[in-house]
Amino acid sequence: MRTTMPMRRRTLIRGLGVGALSAGALSACSGGFRRGRARAAPTAAAAPEPLHEPETELVLGSLGAVHGRSAPFERAISVAVDQAMIDLNASFEGLFGHEVAMQERIVVPETGADLSAEIAGLAEAGVSAVVSSLDEEALAAAMPLLAEAGIAVIDVFTSGLSVRDPEVPTGNMLIRLAPQDAAIAQLYADIALRTSAGDGSTAGTLAYVSEETAQGRSFVQELRRILEPAGGAVALESFHPVGDLGSTDDLVAALLDDPPALLVLNGGGEAGTLLSALHTASRDENGRRTVTIPARLGPAASIDYSGAGLAAGCLESATGYEPGGELSEEHLNMMLNADPELQTIGCAYSQQAYDAVMLAALAAQDALSVDGAAIAGAVQRVLEGSTACADYGTCRDLLRTGAEAGSAGSVAFAGRTGTLRLGPTKDVSATSIRGVAWTTANQKSFTSVAAVGTAV
């Protein structure tokens, strides 16, 4: 894996304006002294206290992976982190009069890789916070080391509850920005429970096909937790290695034998292979469709299948999603200018990655500190303050103005992700997802943006 390497630092020299007040007597050349009662000398307004900002630059790091379920998003996330750093320093002149430094991204090449040496290197380089897109297993293994090193973690990818197990000590240093499994499970369960049984399926039943991951296991438990008290059930459950569904024959036969109200595909592009086989097998000798099973796909499967050679129309009854609100033209152009191939790969999780960089810097400004624990403690404050602001520069200036005036500046950063609210554990309690649909030619298109959240 790549090792850390410090980014070149540029110190911004700020001129100090000095106002000199004359201590000499005022001349009485215009009319001389006036007799009568002497007036009291006006009292000068007290000068504001100078703003005591750290003299040390903020140093950030980032962690990604080219294995497991986070691998499909590594390219978009790494581009977004790079572009955020360019904007942070070139457009907004960094923080505390310095450029913000970013260590070279650490990319984990394989499952189970030991990150202890890399994390020690981050600590030695003075890193205060990292942007992470590791999967649940890797993040759970790394968190104790990161917390012990005093490094805040702003995670843009994980959604599974395993990272929050009591056995995973986070030291209150972990903030997560992706929609949580509990919220998505509630969305899927609601669909299954309200589906009419008149189409041949049993209302409330759900079929679950997932990659074999910690998140995959966690997600099905969330589905059961919501479905079963309401009279529903996970009627079919199947796990497969990441990216390798294998033969679809048995799955297709089981789905057609007892159609569920909803099919949940919690994996990657192999979902298209299953839906194509299911579409073909559900037709009679005249080509008419005899069974239609609505399907829900996660972000890794919400891709363009138009060149994949699948059966025409096999995704018309499927709906996917990507985390975050609407992709703005500004964000999309930024991403595609940096890497045109993202037009095909997609930009999922890139909004969260961009915002994570800005949040780390804003939290440092709010805390007037580059200490990792102070940054971790301030992220929620800069998301949920009183004054809305949509970019780093505006938010930072509001915080500085408030601090200079002797009152705490309070901002609600509304970045490129859209809505972001954190719950008591610093996991997202409210955010947005954008829907994905497919044409008859299996071409991807975005639909509406929806709010999702968890009860806190």
Asked if 317 and 439 count as a contact pair (C-beta separation under 8 A), the reply is no
Read off the tokens for 169: 């000590």
Nearest-angstrom CA–CA distance, 240 and 211: 5
The answer to whether the Cα torsion of 290, 292, 293, 299 is positive or negative is positive
270: which 2 tokens? 């192999």
122 and 152 Cβ atoms separated by less than 8 Å: no
Q: What CA–CA distances, in Å, run from 432 to 177, 219, 421?
A: 11, 19, 10
Residues in the chain: 456
Distance CA 135, CA 213 (A): 9
Q: What is the pLDDT along the chain (456 residues), one digit of tens a residue?
A: 544 443 333 333 233 233 332 333 333 333 332 333 344 444 444 445 566 888 999 999 999 999 999 999 999 999 999 999 999 999 999 999 999 999 999 999 999 999 999 999 999 999 999 999 999 999 999 999 999 999 999 999 999 999 999 999 999 999 999 999 999 999 999 999 998 656 678 889 999 999 999 999 999 999 999 999 999 999 999 999 999 999 999 999 999 999 999 999 999 999 999 999 999 999 877 778 788 999 999 999 999 999 999 999 999 999 999 999 999 999 999 999 999 999 988 999 999 999 999 999 999 999 999 999 999 999 999 999 999 999 999 999 999 998 888 766 689 999 999 999 999 999 999 999 999 999 999 999 999 999 999 864
- For residues 59 and 125, the answer to whether their CB atoms sit within 8 Å is yes
Q: For 230-285, how does the pLDDT look when each residue is reduced to its tens digit (9 = 90+)? A: 999 999 999 999 999 999 999 999 999 999 999 999 999 999 999 999 999 998 77
Give the separation between CA 445 and CA 448, rounded to whole angstroms.
10
Contact partners, residue 370, CB within 8 Å, separation at least 6: 54, 56, 57, 58, 59, 96, 128, 364
Q: How many C-beta neighbours within 10 Å does residue 234 have?
A: 19
- Give the Cα separation of 199 and 293 in Å (integer): 9
Q: Which of 324, 357, 401 is nearest to 101 (CA)?
A: 357
Q: 398 is written with which tokens?
A: 């509001």
Phi and psi dihedrals of 82, rounded to 5?
-60, -45
Question: What is the rounded CA–CA span in Å between residue 263 and residue 266?
Answer: 10
H or E segment to which residue 224 belongs = helix 214-227
Q: What is the tens place of the pLDDT at every residue in 295-331?
A: 999 999 999 999 999 999 999 999 999 999 999 999 9
List Cβ neighbours of 424 (8 Å cut-off, separation of 6 or more).
Answer: 456
Collapse the DSSP code of 333 into the 3-class scheme (helix H, G, I; strand E, B; otherwise coil) and give the result: helix
Provide CB contacts within 8 A for 452, sequence distance 6+.
179, 183, 184, 186, 187, 430, 431, 432, 433
Q: How far is CA 185 from the centre of its chain?
A: 18
Backbone angles phi, psi at 297, to 5 degrees: -120, 145
Write down the H helix ranges in 258-391: 270-281, 329-338, 342-345, 350-367, 372-383
CA distance 294 to 265: 11
Block residue for tokens 């410090």:
6
DSSP 8-state secondary structure symbol assigned to residue 98: B
Number of Cα atoms under 13 Å in the Cβ half of residue 26 = 7
Which of 313, 316, 321, 314 shows the shortest CA–CA distance to 266? 321
